[in-house]
């Protein structure tokens, strides 16, 4: 398994001979809900990949319908023949771009990609009342190895009902608390709870990156947790999980 972190929530995942582009934001700017006054972000440095420099893709995987996961300006520059697997909220947006194959997965629904990889939609974070998005469990059908991805806050009580443990986890370790909505992104403590619950062999953080943000929302968000806090907590826990913090554009090859 090879994992390449691009920036923020964007990854290239190579698993079971399949190459997956996850939650891509590759072109600037990133604007929430078409309202620059609310939130606008730019990369501090050019992303390691552009839409034209990506490797051949077997699918695009999108966890949420919000713009930092379902970035329409990026998706508009990619090949419409690539299958797109999305949350129901994201499906409505992606279909407007003319992609030929859009697979919408509700919680616990699954899709088999080229008969070697199972993609299962896992209950994800509640973005706002009535909008519960997806996490994903990727299972290599040739080896049985699994990867769990959640870019916000894992509802562990629901996940534990059907998922015992995983081999690799990608999740945040620096949380964000939003006005009126509360904590929408897990911090160090929640990430440690996730590790203690699913006991992955490897953990990689997401929702990081060097971005320049403006607007009202960045001024109101309160961060919680840190890489150092998570690393120290993991050490004290006695768990054998290995913690990797790749740099933008760096590929980590995991031996499973």
For 217-251, the pLDDT digits (tens) are 999 999 999 999 999 999 999 999 999 999 999 99
For residue 132, the model assigns a pLDDT of 93
Range of the domain at 60: 2-253
pLDDT higher than threshold 90 for residue 179: no
Q: 198 is written with which tokens?
A: 């699913």
Q: In what order do the strands lie in the sheet with 10-15?
A: 102-104, 84-86, 59-62, 18-22, 10-15, 2-7, 251-253
Contact yes or no for 124/152 (Cβ under 8 A)? yes
Q: Give the CATH number, domain containing residue 93.
A: 3.60.15.10
For residue 180, the model assigns a pLDDT of 82
For residue 231, the model assigns a pLDDT of 97
Average pLDDT of the chain to the nearest whole number? 96
Q: Give me the DSSP letters along 3-30.
A: EEEEEBTEEEEEETTEEEEES---SS-E
Rounded (5°) CA angle 122-187-50:
70
For residue 93, the model assigns a pLDDT of 97
Q: How far from 167 is each of 99, 164, 179, 205, 254, CA to CA, in Å? A: 32, 11, 35, 15, 10
pLDDT higher than threshold 90 for residue 135: yes
For residue 218, the model assigns a pLDDT of 94
Q: For the chain, what is the domain count?
A: 1
């Amino acid at each position: 398994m090879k994992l390449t972190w691009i920036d923020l929530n964007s990854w290239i995942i190579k698993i079971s001979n399949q190459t997956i582009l996850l939650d891509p934001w590759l072109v600037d700017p990133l604007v929430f809900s078409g309202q620059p006054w609310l939130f606008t972000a730019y990369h501090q440095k050019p992303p390691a990949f552009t839409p034209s420099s990506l490797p051949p893709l077997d699918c695009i995987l999108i966890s949420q319908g919000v713009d930092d996961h379902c970035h329409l300006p990026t998706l508009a520059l990619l090949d419409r023949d690539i299958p797109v697997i999305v949350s129901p909220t994201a499906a409505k947006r992606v279909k407007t771009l003319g992609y030929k194959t859009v697979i919408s997965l509700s919680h616990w629904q699954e899709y088999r990609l080229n008969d070697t990889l199972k993609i299962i939609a896992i209950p994800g974070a509640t973005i706002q009342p009535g909008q519960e998005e997806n996490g994903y469990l990727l299972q290599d059908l040739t080896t049985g190895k699994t990867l769990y991805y959640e870019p916000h806050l894992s509802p562990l009580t629901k996940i534990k009902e059907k998922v015992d443990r995983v081999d690799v986890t990608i999740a945040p370790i620096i949380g964000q608390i939003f006005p009126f909505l509360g904590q929408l992104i897990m911090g160090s403590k929640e990430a440690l709870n996730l590790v203690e619950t699913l006991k992955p062999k490897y953990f990689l953080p997401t929702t990081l990156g060097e971005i320049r943000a403006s607007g009202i929302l960045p001024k109101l968000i309160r961060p919680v947790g840190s890489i150092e806090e998570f690393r120290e907590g993991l050490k004290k826990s006695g768990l054998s999980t290995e913690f990797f913090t790749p740099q933008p554009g760096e590929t980590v090859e995991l031996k499973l």
